[in-house]
Structure 1
Amino acid sequence: MEKFVTKEGCKATEIHNRMCIVMGEDAPSFSTVCRWSLQFKQGRKSLDDEPRSDRPSEVTQPEVIAAIEKGILADRRVKVSELSLEFQITVGSVEKIIHDHLGMCKVSARWVPRNLSAQDRHQRTQSCTELLDLYNADEARFLSCLVTGDETWIHHWDRETKLKSLQWKHPSSPPQ
């Protein structure tokens, strides 16, 4: 519209007023209308951005997307900043590829117990009730009579934080 009105010889103020009437709040600012009007008078044909030599190349090419996906699948705990350094693209571009193109999100890979079956719940409730009865019967001797055991020896266990356990996954991936 603006190109047409500029060719008619209208001033930027009149163009902006007409755009505000037609477009309301969605109308561009007065300074934008002035800039466009001047550019159309100088021979510009389109409102689209023209390619520039200093503009970075598009990083969302299929080869880059495939390479980032391969890097994530090789190490699901890789950080966006590490991928950014490896592929020499911005963190924002890596995030856009991961979320928009690959549809991946980062989830915690910590072990979370599943819901117990009715039989398991009943057995645990019964065991806890028996232990509570023993405790209430003789509080002083309770701990000295309690024996626990397991066939697994764990010498050292370093629990991961939630942040350290985050992994990338596709929406169709099974839960961790």
Structure 2
Amino acid sequence: MAGIIESSPAHQNFSRYDIRVIIKFSVILGKDASCIHKDQVTVLGEKAPFIQTVRKWVKLLIEDESRSVRPVTACRDANISKVLVLLSDDKRKTCEEISTETSMSRTSVFRVLTNKLNKKKKFSKWVPHLLTDEQKVSRVNFSRNFLRRFQTEQNDFLGRIITGDETWVYSWDPD
């Protein structure tokens, strides 16, 4: 069987990425670095990585495996309730102010506000960003109406659309 593998042209086409994937797969199977290296020498011959390289990759993969299960501490219920209490006192607090008062990082505070509490900054206040069912239906109806008008009027319709943000702009007509 070894003669068939060594004479096969397929063993010449392994990239570094391929070799690392094989090492990762072998680590998942529970093989140690010396066993993985021996298998690679059998298949790749002179093109096999050195034993030191295989050991380094095995070590990195094992460390990465243990690191990936680290819990996220910022989104614990205690921290979420701290942020809620601070917001109930003053909805205009910034992430930096909340961060200072809770000893959390600004990015963690922002993550709690946006992902866990579903808040969005509007007019310098943190407010819930949830649409009611009526608002959702209204938006769908407006979109369908715009699409229907675009299909009939084409570019004439697009020239008449005025877009804006949430700022009220009053016009003044001197006449």
Q: TM-score range by the shorter chain?
A: 0.3 to 0.5
Higher relative contact order (CA 8 A, sep 6+): 1
Which structure has the larger Rg?
A: 1
TM-score where L is the length of structure 2: 0.43
Identify, as 1 or 2, the structure richer in helix. 2
TM-score where L is the length of structure 1: 0.43
